Amino acid sequence: MPDIVLATLNAKYIHASFGLRYLMANLGGLRGRACMAEFHINQTPLEITEAILLHEPRIVGFGVYIWNVEQTTEVVALLKRIRPELIIILGGPEVSYETDGQEIVALADHVITGEADVKFAEVCALLLDTGNRKPDTGKEEAAHLSEIREPHSDSRGKDEAAPLSGIRYPKSGIPKILPAELPALTQLASPYDFYTDEDLAHRVVYVEASRGCPFTCEFCLSSLDVPVRAFPLDAFLSAMQRLLERGATQFKFVDRTFNLHLPTSMGILQFFLDRWRDGLFLHFEMIPDRLPEQLRALIKKFPPGAVQFEVGIQTFDDATSKNISRRQNLERLADNLRFLREETGVHVHADLIVGLPGEGMECFGRGFDRLVALGPQEIQVGILKRLRGTPIIRHDAEFAMRYAPHPPYEILATRDITFPDMQRMRRFARYWDIVANSGQFTTTLPMLWDTGYRKADTGKDGGETGFGIPDTGKKEAAHLSGIHEPLSNSHTADEVFPLSGIRYPLSGIASPFASFLRFSDWLHATLRRTHQIALQSVAQGLFDFLTGENGADRATVAAALQADWNRTPGREALQLRGMPAAPAHLKPAAIRTARRQARHTQLPVRGEDKTVTL
């Protein structure tokens, strides 16, 4: 039986824990006395507890994150109730900051803050060695334990028993909170051999060529990881070669700034280009305003949908950017996004955040419309989270920032966005993911804001460009003052929405943000839920809204929905109330690429389940 169990609760099975594999790789001589145990957050705490105890370990190390802290707390409490002598060591971002008052920290024996790759092995070695000795803490043991420094004051007496463990530690012994020094990346053992064949076949493989971030965005933990440190490129590429040889096809780079160091990013891209094969998929996080010509030339060589760039824009508003200490060149950002969409097959996943200090719905809407005009395949509308340790809290008083007290600590209301409107934006984000980001309705989606599909009487106050996006200046001001919000079919012109107090004229709206917000509110009023929605119900909702609320031609809308539906072969025929059923549409076998990305590239998509619930 292993002495050490490395455990964590992943958000989903498809996510393989990168952190556990680093800890296992760097256990050194203790590796043979350890095992990994991965679970997911939908498993019951009792089930997880039983599985861990079957190993009969002496030490259990948990990776604790914002998505699993509540469930992990339950598991730790159960373990301590059943086996009080079991030593629990915690690590991860959720317990690396603001440890006081956390229930899970109180339950655990030790907490390693920061990058624990090396520190975890050191602590385990001392604990296991101590456990093999008599609990007498004389001079010899005091000297042995003195290499672990006490970073904080300790209220225990000289030979007082540490809580729960029953082992006595001298004053110079192992403290509860253990800050980890930044490890030298050149000295870290590689984690990649600890991906199993099953991992490579069925799960996302996480890799990293660097750690840290040069930016100081106040909402992000990565801003605390300075300086940026790089792994030796040759050793990293050798590890990637071994993964390719073992059949890995999906590589998700967790580097926060993949394109920061040009020689490294070019070396990695060229490495994969030289070894390209059908089915490979690469995901990178990129700095949106840094894309020099040399990098552009390489990016253009990849096939459509094979590379995804996650582009963190967060806000287009200069004042909001200043509030959160974020720097970006919006002109270069726009030029880079246009290049990616017009000249490459890269799948662009762009991020915006709702609830940043000083940014209201109208300001967010202007940024959203600018981003839609730039054409990324996906726009992730994220709700601001108050991550432990981040300096975003300095704005709490000035901007009346109110966060949920429990994970994931999302913003509830601000000075500029009321709680009811924040709820609307949560639904907006969810429905946008279902309708737009999923790629299921790429033909139908633009009809929501294209006034050419609306009733003939569209008024004159909705100035727009050729893309249906409001022009700047007076026209944009006019369109932004008219975010349209019906909760029922009984609205009249200039009706005031009861929650926000903003007037919504019924005509001339070409803003994607305003138009989709209108659809989102209507859909929620109709369905009264945001999850467990069958894809057929989404299609019917789009049809009913476009034809009923917008007055679009029924046959035109039905044809657009049918085109979207037919891109996935093997589906049953789309049934729209009041319209004749079309036959199921079959297509030849699809090109192998990720399903979500393939929908956006107009490539045929590999067959999916006939009934899809989102």
Q: 314: which 2 tokens?
A: 């967060």
Same domain, 141 and 276: no
pLDDT in tens, 398-433: 999 999 999 999 999 999 999 999 999 999 999 999
Q: Is the pLDDT of residue 498 over 90?
A: no
Single out the residue in 126, 148, 179 at which a domain terminates.
179
Q: How far apart are CA 31 and CA 277, in angstroms?
A: 35
In this prediction, residue 453 has a pLDDT band, given cuts at 50, 70 and 90, of confident
Q: How far is CA 282 from CA 205, 346, 423, in A?
A: 10, 10, 34
pLDDT at 602: 60
Q: Residue 120 carries which side chain, given as an amino acid letter?
A: F
In this prediction, residue 381 has a pLDDT band, given cuts at 50, 70 and 90, of very high
Residue percentage of the chain with pLDDT more than 70: 79
Same domain, 214 and 134: no
For residues 273-293, average pLDDT? 95
Q: Is the pLDDT of residue 60 over 50?
A: yes
Contacts of 434 (CB under 8 A, 6+ apart): 440, 533, 538, 614
Same domain, 165 and 94: yes
For residues 529-552, average pLDDT? 96
pLDDT in tens, 68-123: 999 999 999 999 999 999 999 999 999 999 999 999 999 999 999 999 999 999 99
- Chain centroid to CA 97: 20
pLDDT at 168: 38
Same domain, 160 and 277: no
Same domain, 135 and 200: no
Higher pLDDT among residues 162 and 521, named by residue: 521
For residues 494 and 500, the answer to whether their CB atoms sit within 8 Å is no
Domain assignment present for residue 311? The answer is yes
Same domain, 175 and 201: no
Higher pLDDT among residues 602 and 4, named by residue: 4
Domain assignment present for residue 443? The answer is no
pLDDT in tens, 481-493: 333 333 333 333 3
What is the residue range of 487's domain?
451-601
pLDDT at 594: 61
pLDDT at 181: 94
For residues 296-318, average pLDDT? 96
Which stretches within 408-482 are classed as H helix?
419-432, 474-480
Beta-sheet pairing, 87-91 with 34-40: unpaired
* One-character DSSP codes across 354-418: ES-TT--HHHHHHHHHHHHHH--SEEEEEEPB--TT-GGGGGTTTTT-EE-SSTT-BEEE-SSS-
Q: 488: which 2 tokens?
A: 């029922």
- At which residue do the structure tokens 């999923």 appear? 438
Same domain, 245 and 394: yes
For residues 335 and 372, the answer to whether their CB atoms sit within 8 Å is no
pLDDT in tens, 151-164: 333 333 333 333 33
pLDDT at 458: 39
CATH number at residue 242: 3.80.30.20
How many other CB atoms are found less than 10 A from the CB of residue 133?
Answer: 12
Same domain, 476 and 560: yes
Single out the residue in 417, 436, 467 at which a domain terminates.
417
For residues 380 and 461, the answer to whether their CB atoms sit within 8 Å is no
Same domain, 262 and 151: no
In the chain, the N- to C-terminal Cα span, in Å, equals: 42
For residues 285-312, average pLDDT? 95
Domain assignment present for residue 186? The answer is no
pLDDT at 569: 87
Domain assignment present for residue 188? The answer is no
Residue percentage of the chain with pLDDT more than 90: 73
Q: 136: which 2 tokens?
A: 């007498």
For residues 90 and 75, the answer to whether their CB atoms sit within 8 Å is no
Domain assignment present for residue 607? The answer is no
In the chain, the number of structural domains is 3
Four-CA torsion 256, 259, 263, 266, nearest 10 degrees:
110
Domain assignment present for residue 445? The answer is no
Same domain, 72 and 23: yes
Helix (H, G, I), strand (E, B) or coil at 90: strand
How many other CB atoms are found less than 10 A from the CB of residue 533?
Answer: 18
Same domain, 146 and 264: no
Closest CA to 26 of 15, 18, 37: 18
pLDDT at 224: 75
Higher pLDDT among residues 277 and 569, named by residue: 277
- Chain centroid to CA 386: 14
Single out the residue in 367, 397, 417 at which a domain terminates.
417
Q: Is the dihedral of CA 479, 484, 490, 495 positive or negative?
A: negative
Domain assignment present for residue 486? The answer is yes
Contacts of 600 (CB under 8 A, 6+ apart): 305, 347, 377, 378, 439, 442
Q: Is the pLDDT of residue 345 over 50?
A: yes
pLDDT at 452: 79
Mean pLDDT of the chain: 84
Same domain, 64 and 125: yes
Helix (H, G, I), strand (E, B) or coil at 205: strand
CATH number at residue 146: 3.40.50.280
Q: pTM higher than 0.85, yes or no? A: no
Domain assignment present for residue 524? The answer is yes
